[in-house]
Chains A and B, each alone.
Chain A
Amino acid sequence: MHWEKAIRQLCQARVEVLSGWLFEENRYSLICLILLMSGGAVYGASIGIWRDPTQAFYVAIKFPLLLGLTALGNALINGMLAQLLGAQISFRQSLLAVLMSYALLSIILGAFAPLSWFLVWHLPAMGSISQTLGYDLYLLINVILIIFAGVIANTQLYRLLIYICQDELKARKILIAWFVVNLFLGAQLSWNLRPFFGTPQLLVKFLRENPFDGSFYEAIFYIIINRLGV
């Protein structure tokens, strides 16, 4: 397989080409997985580098792991939802469609990693007086970048779903259902695998103490309760 051609085909998202991928046995699943891992690792490193080079190394492992685990963890339910909502595709094909979307997300983020590194170079460094400003700015810009890549990846996935279902309404329902379950599990996994950006006040670690204590949703709940003063 020509890797560069695979990247181009994923980006161009010509549905007649990508739907062909769905019927190739396992070959394209491996390609998507490798693209997801490599793109995610490059971008992950650029996320962690502001905090510390060790953090960059950790996030280069954790970021692709987060995407891969989210796709695999939801493989079964995504396949069921797709069939339930009217797409004539197998579990393997629905997993591959999600992997394609995540691979595209990783490729886009990976392509912007050099610019992200350049940005880190100019932000107030860790340990400087204005480190909080640096941290907040870096967080904001990366969130914008992830949203940008996420919107593109989901738009391409939507086009593919329309082609598979031959019905815009069905495709939209499947996309929303997948988005919701992926976000649901992804948010929790990102909580378990934290830290990614690395809070300046905390030590650099691969995982926080007791990473499986509590959940993302509990944390949000308690933040809201504390803010409201209940």
Chain B
Amino acid sequence: MSESPKDPETNPAASLPFVMRTRFDQPELLGASWWQERLLAAPARAGGSVEPSRRQALQTLLALGGFAVLGVGFGAARCSSSRSSSTQTALELQQTHGLTIDANGVPFVFADLVFSVCDGTQFDNAVLQNLATLLRPARQDLQPFYVPTLFQSLAAPSAGPLRNAIRPMHNAALERAEARGAAIRELLAVLDQPQTLALVVDLPGPEAVAFAAGLAGAVDVVFGFDNWPHPRGVVPSHQTLAAALYYAPRLAQPLGPAPRPLCLVLDRNRILPYHNEPDRFDNRYLARLPDTKALRALGITRVLYVAAEGAKAEEADDLNDEFVAYREGGLSVQLLGTGDLRLADPAPATGNNTGNTASSTSGSGARGGHYLWHGSPMHHWWFWSHYGFPHRQGPLAGVQPNGPVFGAGYRPTPRPSAFTGRPAGGLGLLPSRGRSNSSSSRGGSWGRSSGFTGS
């Protein structure tokens, strides 16, 4: 068999089905791994590990959910070896039996659909087939953390009803989220050592996308959307997709100068309450983030968690284990509430030229207006001082806000939730449907399941 690798220049990666996810070329290890994204796998984290507590969390969830189907992503993958082979997660069910399984004719319902995208051009539905590739991180070392499951759903053969219905979505809430992202982008211009910062944007899906779009170009965006949409889904992921279609040109734009912060984008709706209602499809899932070791390997020492306006001043329940591990691993973990990013106070009418106006510090350019930290240019430039991040002087001398700052004093602390705690005999995955596969259930396995590293 001859080997004649095609020239990457003439054989663009975007057209190749096997995407390289990890690569090693060092004295300890030489090798690589690939995923065939077009097979629409439930991808697994390649750069980190899953703690037992998270697995227990999954089991607890399943126990709480009775017979509910739970799209649990990696947690399910790690549990799969102990799970009955006659059950499937929501995602597996959709991948096997169709994206709209059990929809019973219920259509996808969208709001605020538009015909153009964020750069003003007409929406081109060709993007539906390659959204997962389009939004893949440019940096190879970040690709293992990219979870494109939701974006991949658009290319599924069974996604015809979704593709027929979906268009870009845009509304005032997205404009506001985008403008808030742009406010942070403006601040990043004076941040020292930006490559040591990871933003974890955890907002309702469409707003998370819009916030990331506001930051686009100044950060390396890595999406973590790990489910498929469903017309009766607990998680309205189809709206997240519609927002991603609107902002795709911005999110896929060339990146600004390195070094840049990392921006991990999550859908806060992934763990919306669900009480086993028979008319809903449980497409919830647990977030997957790089673990401490992986973040450190990327040079990251600070994590800034971006929480939604009105949310509690703490990380989402399914992130508690990971965030506590971050802190215990020596990472700085802090909290930013988007409610603290406020529409700029009206410019003073004095005409003085101190540069003390919102517009003079602008540059964010989002259509939702100019948002500033605590609504004032002076407070805005106090932002990095508040968080204790090394930075240069902004265009204005910062002034500490008078009022409370959301999340001040926040510190990740172990807490009980539906995602932590007691190990349970997790029954509750829906029985699988259709034929069984034909492969042998037994090969050369000696039952080994650990101790493989030899170190």
- Do A and B interact? no
Residues of A within 8 A of B (CB): none
Residues of B within 8 A of A (CB): none
